[in-house]
Amino acid sequence: MSHDPNTPAIVSILAGGFAGAIEGAATYPFEFAKTRVQLRQQKGVPTPRNPFKVVLGVYQTEGVAALYKGCSTLVIGSVGKDGVRFLSFDTIKNQFKDPETGTLSPMRSLAAGMLSGVVASITCVTPTERIKTALIDDARNEKRYLSMMHCIKTVLKENGFIGLYRGFAGTTLKQAGATAFRMGTYNILKDYEKEHDIAQNTATNFANGSVAGIVTTLATQPFDTIKTRCQSSRGASTVEAFRSIVADYGVKGFWKGTTMRLGRTVFSGGILFTTYEWAAAILNPLVAPKEERLRE
């Protein structure tokens, strides 16, 4: 995250939204593979742990277009999710800073991330994740949905508006935890580097984002697995999803898709924060003078 406390809100939301779109599109095949593995498989049929094998298998049997089923939904959702997430984190962290030193303790970094994750889940993440997961699940089975809009209309017709929030509990727990660890870890690393005069450049931003992605994945994978089961094409309650995972795979099933998700988050964290810092550096000089004139 940028450490300029005067970063305009419009910069946070635009840079965050742009970074989310780039990250979502660039790493989507890994997200697709992870979601496929987490959805219910035939009993006795092992699921591969290597994300590249899943991607290759889908490509060979269903074509390259199948790997991007639900991608547009994720990208649109990522624009909103990361725009809101960066904006809310920037806003909340400035409120949490020590008024005397202007610094943010590790625990306050995690708390700021947790709150911004809840805001993102309520405003945009849960509905877009629901549609993305339903599209991926439907593509391997019934093939009822003709497009993203058709999927949304069908969900609304069959389940009402509440259908878009299927898996809300799991998604919010995941987002609260994921944003706490991702934003918090990144902010902690940046503060440490600032204290030790470590240069901030593309390499350090990418490395910090990748480390934050690894920590986030390992800590929040169970929530992600429950969320995926809840948001399948037919849907399930959080309790039903929990029971089905235990019945199918036991406790270790909650970490189903970890390798797949790591394959994505190592790159996605680096791409997300590097793109955000780059976009913010371009936008800040353009927006800040206009806001200063408005305040005068």
- Which of the four pLDDT bands, split at 50, 70 and 90, describes residue 48? low
Does the pLDDT of residue 3 top 50, yes or no?
Answer: no
How far, in Å, CA of 219 to CA of 181, rounded? Answer: 8
In this predicted structure, what is the pLDDT of residue 47? 62
Could you please report the per-residue DSSP string of 178-241?
Answer: HHHHHHHHHHHHHHHHHHTT---SHHHHHHHHHHHHHHHHHHHHHHHHHHHHHTSSS---HHHH
Q: What is the pLDDT of residue 1?
A: 44
All structural domains of the chain: 9-284 (1.50.40.10)
Q: Which pLDDT score is estimated for 290?
A: 55
pTM above threshold 0.85: no
Residue holding tokens 């901030």?
200
pLDDT value at residue 102: 66
Task: Tell me the mean pLDDT in the region 222-231.
Answer: 83
> Which percentage of the chain shows pLDDT scores above 70?
88
Alpha-carbon distance 6 to 103, whole Å? 14
Q: Which of 42-56, 67-81, 147-161 has the lowest mean pLDDT?
A: 42-56
The pLDDT of residue 37 is 75
Averaged pLDDT for residues 137-146:
79
Summarize the confidence of residues 10-27 as an average pLDDT. 90
At 60, which helix (H) or strand (E)? helix 51-62
- Using the predicted structure, report yes or no on whether residue 228 has a pLDDT greater than 50: yes
